Chain A
Amino acid sequence: MQQKLKSTLENYAFVLPAVTIFFIFYVIPFIWVFQLGLYDWDGILPTKIFVGMDNFKEIIFQDKIWWQSMLNAGYMTAIALTFQNILAFLLALACDREIRMKNFYRLIFFIPPVLSEVVVGLVWQWILDGNYGLLNSWLAHFGMQNLVHNWLSDPQTALTAVAAVHSWKGFGWGFLLFLAGLQIIPRELYEAARVDGANAWVSFKKITLPMMVPVIIMVAILTILGTMQVFVLINTMTDGGPAYHTEVPVTRIFASMRGSSRFGYACAQGIIFGIILMALSFTQYRLSKKARN
């Protein structure tokens, strides 16, 4: 009996370090977010004022910039879901063929994703710079003077420019996942289809697409979660400007915390945002499942 107890305790000891770290740095913050969301607190003074749902009401009914930031992130996500993922899918299809240098292409396409967002943001900020940037000097050089302008400080182009850079950095992820998905489709299926006289388009529609549905759902959900939570790229390229045009939810949460020292408010924003993210990926999952049947 004692032997057995000792053995069980030993087994617990194996997970103890992981559970301790996880409890302190994940579980406690998780609970505190919900608790702090009900308070008005500057993060420093010991006095916390209980305000109930006031933070949530203020965010939902009064915080226009918050919802603007949500729309901005939604816009970036729409671009990522369409342009970025379609590009990734086409590239994966191209590299799934018997084609030379496909390992080389795969190697190159995944370079932007391994670079840090800070590096990517600062390099592109330099390329898009309004006065001395490379893009403008090329446009001028090739006689497109009328297109030259300040990409990142013009409200009309700032968000799209950041979204394009985000897609540039991200398409390699989708590409790799799509390619892995394409490669596990049994080749016999295609051969059988060819024997039956199906052309390339028919076998794409009848074999490739249906087999790829799980991967497509996965990439879509990862894209939504990743893009909605964009922060570093914004922080390095525009810092939310010009005039809130590139604010996203995480920059708003950060601003509530650092800028206006409203920790409770920041937590409430985090909760609302978390719920929206869960709802989005759940909806996406359900829709895709429906489309599959």
Chain B
Amino acid sequence: MRSSGYYKIKKVTINLVIHLFLIAVAVTCIFPILWMVSSSLKTQATVFRDSSLIPQVLHFENYLRAWNEGGFAVYFFNSIIYTVSVVFGIIIVSSLAAYAFSRLQFPGKNIIFYVFMAAMMIPIPGSFVVLYVLLNKLHLLNSRLGYILCLINVGLSMSIFLLKNFFDKLPRELEDAARIDGCSKLGIWWHVALPFAKPALAVVVVFNALNVWNEYMLALIIFDSKNLMPLQRALMMFRGEFLTNYPLLMAGLTITAFPIIIVYLLMQKYIVKGITSEVVSG
């Protein structure tokens, strides 16, 4: 007979091994980000020689230089504009549609809905080529509006899917009560359905905000003018210009990544929910 002490030691050892494994991976996840911040605080003279994680002198002026001379103030502002407009557009357009797919009757409803869903499944890898041609025809190349509309389209299917699932759970009584009070359909959408769907709306907002902030491909196709570029596109431009000025580049990267990390840490719950919704819903 083995003693209970043996099992205890065995359990502690197993837990220790598991923790070591998890910690090793966690360090690997975080280290490159710390290294980015660390490099952004060195100078052009020290960045190539000093491999310490915390430099002796912290050169915060790199951030000022990137912000002003590097133009990151403009790019940051652009990214904010794009993110806010696209997310706002997606919320309005997709919640209207999702509400109709869930609650209203009209011929062809299911077909239209399935076409939206199919768009999530079918990859068209060359679509950016045609999008360029299309935007050119519509005179929307190198324009904020063109970029915003394209990105609203990108987030549409997924958002309609999430919101429709939620509206399906909306109790009939709530709608009926509003109708008796004289609410129009639009009124019910605004006063009843949207407040009810707040948790799903939070997922849609956070998810799309991350996508738009991180988007690069379409920005690469659409923008030529520096003053219209969002951060991701500008970073590549910036690297081309300040080829080996790593401290400045790393400062730019940190400026770009910082808001995302903050939003992620605050909104973690909603991001996880959005990603795992399909697994959990079966």
Closest to A176 in B: B275
Render A28-63 as a binary contact track against B, CB cut-off 8 A, 1 for contact: 111011001000000100000000000000000000
Cβ A108 vs Cβ B96 within 8 A: no
Cβ B253 vs Cβ A119 within 8 A: yes
B149, B250, B253, most chain A CB atoms within 10 A: B253
Report how far A273 CA is from B28 CA in the complex, Å.
Answer: 34
- In the complex, how many angstroms separate the beta carbon of A46 from the nearest chain B beta carbon? 12
List of B residues within 8 angstroms of A184 by Cβ: 279-280
Report how far A100 CA is from B16 CA in the complex, Å.
Answer: 11
Report how far A131 CA is from B246 CA in the complex, Å.
Answer: 13
Q: Tell yes or no: A76 within 8 A of B by CB.
A: no
A22 with B279, Cβ < 8 A, contacts A107-B265, A115-B260, A127-B35 known: no
Q: Which of A21, A177, A215, A254 contacts B275 (CB 8 A)?
A: A177
Q: Which of B22, B116, B133, B250 contacts A32 (CB 8 A)?
A: B133
Cβ B150 vs Cβ A114 within 8 A: no
Report how far A198 CA is from B249 CA in the complex, Å.
Answer: 56
List of A residues within 8 angstroms of B22 by Cβ: 91, 94-95, 101, 105
A119 with B257, Cβ < 8 A, contacts A11-B104, A105-B26 known: yes
Closest to A117 in B: B216
- In the complex, how many angstroms separate the beta carbon of B3 from the nearest chain A beta carbon? 20
Q: Tell yes or no: B276 within 8 A of A by CB.
A: yes
Render A78-121 as a binary contact track against B, CB cut-off 8 A, 1 for contact: 00000000010011001101011100111111111011111110
Report how far A119 CA is from B106 CA in the complex, Å.
Answer: 46
Q: Tell yes or no: A25 within 8 A of B by CB.
A: yes
- In the complex, how many angstroms separate the beta carbon of B156 from the nearest chain A beta carbon? 6
Cβ B129 vs Cβ A33 within 8 A: yes
List of B residues within 8 angstroms of A215 by Cβ: 279
Find residues 204-241 in chain B having any chain A CB closer than 8 Å to their own CB: 210, 213-214, 216-217, 220, 232, 235-236, 239
Q: Tell yes or no: B15 within 8 A of A by CB.
A: yes
Q: Tell yes or no: B152 within 8 A of A by CB.
A: yes
How many A residues touch the partner, as a band? 35 or more
Cβ A116 vs Cβ B32 within 8 A: no
Report how far A232 CA is from B232 CA in the complex, Å.
Answer: 10
- In the complex, how many angstroms separate the beta carbon of A66 from the nearest chain B beta carbon? 13
Q: Tell yes or no: B58 within 8 A of A by CB.
A: no
- In the complex, how many angstroms separate the beta carbon of B163 from the nearest chain A beta carbon? 11
Cβ B125 vs Cβ A111 within 8 A: no
Report how far A177 CA is from B274 CA in the complex, Å.
Answer: 11
Cβ A91 vs Cβ B105 within 8 A: no
Cβ A173 vs Cβ B185 within 8 A: no
Q: Tell yes or no: B1 within 8 A of A by CB.
A: no
Closest to B238 in A: A122
Closest to B32 in A: A123
Cβ B97 vs Cβ A15 within 8 A: yes
Given A114-B210, A253-B128; 5 other pairs, CB 8 A cutoff:
A24-B153, A111-B33, A116-B213, A126-B249, A232-B217
Interfacial residues, chain B to chain A (CB-CB below 8 A)? 15, 18-19, 21-22, 25-26, 28-30, 32-33, 35-36, 39, 47-48, 51, 92-94, 96-97, 99-101, 104-107, 112, 115-116, 119, 122-134, 136, 149-150, 152-153, 156-157, 160, 185, 189, 210, 213-214, 216-217, 220, 232, 235-236, 239, 246, 249-250, 253, 256-257, 260-261, 264-265, 268, 271-272, 275-276, 278-280, 282
A sample of 29 cross-chain residue pairs with beta-carbon separation below 8 angstroms, ordered by A number, consists of A8-B105, A10-B185, A11-B100, A11-B105, A14-B100, A22-B115, A22-B153, A24-B153, A28-B134, A29-B127, A33-B129, A43-B133, A91-B21, A94-B22, A108-B26, A111-B33, A116-B213, A116-B216, A116-B257, A118-B216, A119-B36, A119-B256, A134-B35, A141-B51, A235-B216, A270-B124, A273-B126, A277-B123, A277-B125
Instruction: Report, nearest first, the 9 A-B pairs whose CB atoms are least far apart.
Output: A270-B126, A14-B100, A116-B214, A180-B276, A18-B97, A25-B153, A29-B130, A11-B104, A11-B106
